[in-house]
Structure 1
Amino acid sequence: MTFTNVSRALCLTAFAAACAAPVHATSFTSSASSAGSASSGSVSDSIGASSNSSSDDKRVAAGEYRVIDVSQAPAKLDTTRVTLRAVAAGPAREFYLDLPNRALAERRVNAGELVQVNERVYGYEFAHADTKRPFFLALQDDWYRDLASRKVTI
């Protein structure tokens, strides 16, 4: 593992600890593990432009988004597709988020609810707007690649 990989791993570990800070000590483990690999994916695999979007730009802006639709992701087993539309005024910004079903095991998202999107150095953090508790991390592709498990041969 290179220095960059180590620093990225430490950053994500610190993120997991920060997510757990405002909750009770008994839920520290579950909060940290929910920010782990079970609830993360790469930006290119997780975020896509909606057919109703005003442009083909796949970039997501920080802010609140309303859940427009929740469905099974096409051709992706055990994956939920959540379609989100920006609440803020301006050009219509809409995109979909494909995430593993286990990312929503603790708490589902339903049509009409609000999701808070925060831009981070490693990608995007998706959280329930009412609790600010993250449920999914969309990691920039290079971060996702660097943190992937690799078979070690001796």
Structure 2
Amino acid sequence: AIERKKSMQARLDQFMERRDGYLARVRFWHGLEHIMKEAQKRKRAASAFTMRAVRMSWNQWEEQLDLRREARLQLMLVHAQTGQHHDKVKRMLDKHPPSYREVLLLTPDALGMTPLSWAAKRGQAAAADLYLSYGGRMGNNAGTK
């Protein structure tokens, strides 16, 4: 019984050593990942200060483009609801090709409403006229055009 207890204790000690080694490796990699993220943040901050572009991977460029596209859509929806930023929206619509204008004007929000439907609902006649002049259409709650 004593021998069995000693062998069990030895196995338990080996297991604990392996576990401690594993946890140390995990802590190391988490720490290294944190250091890398901090270095990237500092690099971005320095590039903003010195006006030098940071090298980004293709996924990061796509993410930036998606964020800009989403910001443009949000500006359209804010304009439709409040009537503010009329000149910015007009310049944005003039600047982009018709295919992208269609994306901006016909993409429904989470409620299935396009900028034109928001402008009509909120009584923003100037915004509604602007969207109609660029080919905007009403959306419905099903999200169709």
Q: Which TM-score tier does this pair reach, normalised by the shorter chain?
A: under 0.3
Q: How does the TM-score come out when normalised to structure 2? A: 0.23
Q: Which has the higher contact order (CA 8 A, sep 6+)?
A: 1
Q: How does the TM-score come out when normalised to structure 1? A: 0.22
Larger strand percent: 1
Which entry has the higher C-alpha Rg, 1 or 2? 2
Larger helix percent: 2
